[in-house]
Amino acid sequence: MKMEAMSLSGLDNTKLEALAHDIYSDLVEDACLGLCFEVHRAVKQGYFFLDETDQDSMKDFEIVDQPGVDIFGQVYNQWKNKECVCPNCSRSIAASRFAPHLEKCLGMGRNSSRIANRRIASSNNMSKSESDQEDNDDINDNDWSYGSEKKAKKRKSDKVFLRSLKQPVLLNPNSPRRSKSLKHKNGELNNNVNTDPYKYNYNSGISYETLGPEELRSLLTTQCGVISEHTKKMCTRSLRCPQHTDEQRRTVRVFLPGPSASTLPDVDAVVESDGYDVSDGQALMNRLQWDGSSDISPSDSASSKASTNNSDSKKPKKKKKPSLGLSSSGTGGTGGGTGGGPGTAGSGSSSQGVLSLPSRKKKPKLPAPPTPSIYDDMN
């Protein structure tokens, strides 16, 4: 042991170093040898020179080392500065943004429909949330529309400006746009107030004056619609919104000419008539009485079935309020008020119709008696 210690102490740093160095050299030599064997085998097996076959092609694909160019010789942002002219809107768009712009511009592609749907949904919600300031507290309760309301709020500021621009257009109930959308909506089951993404019928808070009959109707079939005293706007919350009672909703639907079905669960279904404005004392009738009438049945056949009870009471009222241009697709609960302008049944009401179908069968005759009384009240 002592000898060990002595010999250990005899080993100073340099010696240790030298030893380590020797070990290291051995290892390096082993590595070299390994490489030699590898190369030799490659040569004898014939695969050593495989990666250098053709001088010409080697020159073609040589690595490029110039500034502004990648190693393949391609310029990186060659198309960045180029601008293309959009064939749809005739704007000049940057090349890298051209494809998404086109997608939105043409309204095709997955995203565009999603955006359009969202806009529509949020326009519904916006009118709800805007109509009553007090509602904001309860917004969190409204699970269905919370998400879209959030989005709607964000975009509200954007859209407010647009809305002010667009309002003049919307005010005209007989504008060609409106009738167009009417035609398209025939027979359609839609909860959408507006399927045209460019129309920007996106009201934060809907004032009933600006709405055409068609839209009012469809609005009322899907939304609460109660008119707030503060803002004179219709509540855009769901049909079962806790802020307003059914009575209020009924009142609104009576007040505004020819609105759609009420929210009452026992509401009878609304009969759809296809955008025939007109006459529709009979059309109104159809909505009121939906004995055996399907959602999409033509108003004519429905009217033939409908009783004539309400037609007389309705007609005078129609004349009274032509401006409102709402058609009543009233059911027992609401009793559509006067069918002031075109009395088109809200196609949106069809959804109502579907919902109340079962109740329909249960209480077919109920609508008739109550409605006249309501009219009396209004009168």
Q: Cα separation of 322 and 53, whole Å?
A: 89
Q: Note whether 58 binds other proteins by CB under 8 A.
A: no
Q: Note whether 294 binds other proteins by CB under 8 A.
A: no
> Which listed range, 15-23, 149-157, 268-276, 368-376, lies at the site for other proteins (CB under 8 A)?
15-23
Q: Cα separation of 352 and 271, whole Å?
A: 9
Q: Note whether 73 binds other proteins by CB under 8 A.
A: no
Q: Note whether 95 binds other proteins by CB under 8 A.
A: no
Q: Note whether 83 binds other proteins by CB under 8 A.
A: no
CB closer to other proteins out of 22 and 247? 22
Type and span of the H or E element at 93:
strand 92-94
Q: Note whether 53 binds other proteins by CB under 8 A.
A: no
Candidates 29, 70, 83, 376; binder of other proteins (CB under 8 A) is 29
- Phi, psi torsion values for 346, nearest 5 degrees: -70, 125
Helices (H) and strands (E) in the chain, counts: 15, 2
CB atoms within 10 A of CB 192: 22
DSSP annotation of 271: P
Q: Note whether 62 binds other proteins by CB under 8 A.
A: no
Q: Note whether 171 binds other proteins by CB under 8 A.
A: no
Type and span of the H or E element at 94:
strand 92-94
Alpha-carbon separation of residue 58 from 51, 52, 91, 178, 229 (angstroms): 10, 8, 46, 68, 82
- Report, in Å, the least distance between residue 97 CB and other proteins: 43
Applying CB under 8 A, the site for other proteins has a residue count of: 33
CA 11 and chain centroid, separation: 83
> Which listed range, 37-45, 113-121, 261-269, 357-365, lies at the site for other proteins (CB under 8 A)?
37-45
> Which listed range, 2-10, 141-149, 195-203, 321-329, lies at the site for other proteins (CB under 8 A)?
2-10
Q: Note whether 11 binds other proteins by CB under 8 A.
A: yes
- Report, in Å, the least distance between residue 26 CB and other proteins: 7
Site for other proteins in 311-330 (CB under 8 A): none
Q: Which of 308, 342, 347, 349 is nearest to 327 (CA)?
A: 342
Cα dihedral sign, 344-354-335-129? negative
CB closer to other proteins out of 52 and 137? 52
CB closer to other proteins out of 20 and 165? 20
- DSSP collapsed to 3 states, 316-353: HHHHHCCCCCCCCCCCCCCCCCCCCCCCCCCCCHHHHH
CB closer to other proteins out of 17 and 141? 17
DSSP annotation of 109: S
- Report, in Å, the least distance between residue 73 CB and other proteins: 24
AA letter at 261: A
According to DSSP, the residues that pair with 84 across neighbouring strands are 93
Task: Indicate the SS3 state at residue 298.
Answer: coil
Q: Note whether 85 binds other proteins by CB under 8 A.
A: no
Q: Note whether 106 binds other proteins by CB under 8 A.
A: no
- Report, in Å, the least distance between residue 18 CB and other proteins: 8
Q: Return the ∠ at Cα 128 (arms to 124 and 132), rounded to 5°.
A: 160
Q: Note whether 47 binds other proteins by CB under 8 A.
A: no
CB closer to other proteins out of 21 and 319? 21
- Report, in Å, the least distance between residue 70 CB and other proteins: 23
Residues that bind other proteins (CB under 8 A): 3-4, 7-8, 11, 13-14, 16-17, 19-37, 39-40, 43, 48-49
